[in-house]
Structure 1
């Protein structure tokens, strides 16, 4: 059974990501945790004008959070009465990143699913600030869904890698399960001006092949120094439906998250991104 965390700010974008998750995982047994972290909303609340009203505003924000989660749960149960699904709600006076990390540990979360943007829908922004924070700092795989994206049956998944870091079996197994659900091809590409792999790279590639043994995997080396451009072109030329990257120091995904390069990789997430965090969780 999968355990999936669905953070929400009750925006249209977050609801869209929730609907995507409900459809995408409809064939799996899943424990869904709908979470609203309201610490920032509390401190930014218009009524919080002095310390005297602290408790009153806290009570108001907490009740609004719990009420909105209950409304969301009723809506979810109406649109997805799936016997494979179990639903839970979490309302917390905490930041999104801190609460996500705590819940990931407490409930052994396999995956966080959220939209690429929150209440803002600025077309110039690839990731909303909340999604950016989760991708960077939460120690759990994240599936980020673009606004209004509806293709829940990916046929080809792109996995760019430099083979320099040892992968975590648990996270590769997650990719394997997601791909196997829809018999998706996984295109593993190594972008480099040289064809030769080091011994370390060969060993990491062998481990990848072993874990993804039940999947259809295509291993390719693309001769190029322009990583972002190569990824963008590959997505278009091969009709890629989802991209997965490992988020570690000096990784493709880390490069993508920095503002200096984010415009270059504004493959911008027109397709979902599965970010593997390469954590040491069991």
Structure 2
């Protein structure tokens, strides 16, 4: 990994994500890009007579944010957690999911790390909705860090997989992540989506995909019965393993496809009290017209 993006709204959960990102940056030698979006400007009027007023508001907002960034960088310079880690800041105007879709491409980012309030919070729906949009759109993996999660290490990873051919990307990225964090990866296989004949075939398929990607598996786990609530089963298995991370591939379904089939990855993010890393299985479509650099 070379570049890690960290969106911030200067909240406590953003700060938690920044510390987790710093730990990964130190281990991988990556640069951190700390970015903020002025989403208010995305809703301002496009009328001609209001444009100069909107421009003035945007300039004032950017000035205030840059002042805030300057104070944060000064604080980070005195914090040993961030010693030796290159950090840049940037301010954008637009909606977070739209902006991140663009910035991930411009920065050739390897990972987005963002904070959430976590499962069970009264504001989780609003925060979750924003996080889900990001997961559904950006073309690199997204690591979500719940506010209540205080560890910055990912030693034990639960990896749910369908073991289908399209899972290769998730195996490959997780193999790279394993090289950085030196973690144990426990693969979880639910409901036999690949229609494999028995447990021996399941294990053989799992290790075949892992070997091709260079991923070391600590074990392959299956269920004896069909599971209706897959995200609950994933979260419960992660608790049993005392996992510090859930990593899983996502098809990034949108529109009618998302409505009909949903997303187990997004649902898991909403239910988990530990970090979840979503790994896109295909590139997202980029619409650069929706973002404007502040």
Shorter-normalised TM range: 0.7 to 0.9
Alignment of 1:191-206 (within 5 A): 191-192=190-191, 196=197, 206=208
Distance 1:273 1:266, change over 3 A: closer
> 1:156-191 CA distances to partner (integer Å, 9 max, x unpaired)?
20111112342354x544322333344321011111
In the TM superposition, what are the counterparts of 1:223-262 in structure 2 within 5 Å? 223-226=224-227, 227-248=230-251, 249=253, 254-257=263-266, 262=267
- The runs of 5 or more residues in structure 1 that have no matched partner are none
Separation in 2, partners of 1:102, 1:77 = 29
Deviations 1:98-144 (A, max 9, x none): 221222111211000001249xx536549533212111222210000
Q: Within 5 A, what are the aligned runs for 1:27-176?
A: 27-38=27-38, 40-42=39-41, 51=50, 53-79=53-79, 80-83=81-84, 85-117=85-117, 122=122, 125=125, 127-169=127-169, 172-176=171-175
- In 1, are the aligned partners of 2:5 and 2:35 still within 8 Å (CA)? yes
Q: Is the 8 A contact 2:210 2:217 kept in 1?
A: no
List gaps (5 residues or longer) in structure 2: 285-294
TM-score where L is the length of structure 1:
0.80
Contact 2:155 2:184 in 1 (8 A): yes
RMSD value over aligned CA atoms? Answer: 3.4
Higher helix fraction: Structure 1 or Structure 2? 2
Structure 2 counterpart of 1:274, from 272, 277, 282: 277
Classify 1:244/1:207 alpha carbon distance in 2 versus 1 (closer, same or farther; 3 Å): same
Aligned to 2:288: none
Q: Which deviations, in whole Å up to 9, do the C-alpha atoms of 1:39-90 show, x marking residues without a partner?
A: x223569xxxx8263232122112122222222222222223432x211111
TM-score computed with the length of structure 2 as normaliser: 0.77
Q: Higher relative contact order by CA 8 Å / sep ≥ 6: 1 or 2?
A: 2
Residue 272 to residue 136, structure 1, CA distance change in 2 (3 Å):
same
